[in-house]
Amino acid sequence: MTGRSRRRLPFCIRSSLSAALLALFAAFAAAPAHADPCADIAKQLARQIEGLKINFTAANITYLTHPAAKELSLGCRGKDYAIELYAKTDRKMKPEFFNLVGSATALIFTVPKDDATTGTSRCLKRMGIFRGNNITMRYRRLNLECTRTRTDASITVRRGKSE
């Protein structure tokens, strides 16, 4: 009976292999954990805007709640956009909704609150008989899309990936 012969790697290969594994382990151990930027923005919104609460996060979309809006969400890293704010309310919009959307837009996209409120209210107020129920406009490097149905009005504020 012959015993199995075991092959041994040469010393230089063994030492370089162990050094490579040690370096790989050190690289992964030293890398800091990165938080989701969308979650950070949602937490900042909840701290800054009174009455705003974070509901849950699913598929890069953070759902928020506020008394002035029926639906409110913050989306991150879509196909054509970097960050997106979506807000929906009744067809007859209240000043609290304009203030909420303007404040959230200012915080998310880092524009002055006056400019954000002006742009979002301009888009929402343009919907009507003469211009129709779907308005798309651009204001201060933001893409604004306002839509109105028989019962609801909504606005989507985006900034493109290239901006």
Question: Which tens digits make up the pLDDT trace of 132-142?
Answer: 889 899 988 89
Question: Which tens digits make up the pLDDT trace of 82-128?
Answer: 789 999 999 888 999 999 999 999 999 999 999 999 998 898 888 88
* The pLDDT value given to residue 56: 86
Which of 116, 83, 77 is closest to 98 using CA atoms?
116
- Pseudo-torsion of CA 61, 33, 50, 104, nearest 10°? -50
* The pLDDT value given to residue 69: 93
Q: Are 12 and 20 in contact (CB under 8 A)?
A: no
* The pLDDT value given to residue 70: 93
Q: Are 15 and 22 in contact (CB under 8 A)?
A: no
Q: How far is Cα 32 from Cα 44, in angstroms, rounded to an integer?
A: 21
Look at strands 53-58 and 61-66 and give their pairing.
antiparallel
* Helical pair 37-48 and 95-109, crossing angle rounded to 10 deg: 140
Quote the Cα angle for 17-18-22, to 5°.
Answer: 120
pLDDT at 2 over 90: no
Q: How far is Cα 74 from Cα 117, in angstroms, rounded to an integer?
A: 17
Indicate the pLDDT class of residue 159, thresholds 50, 70 and 90: confident
pLDDT at 77 over 80: no
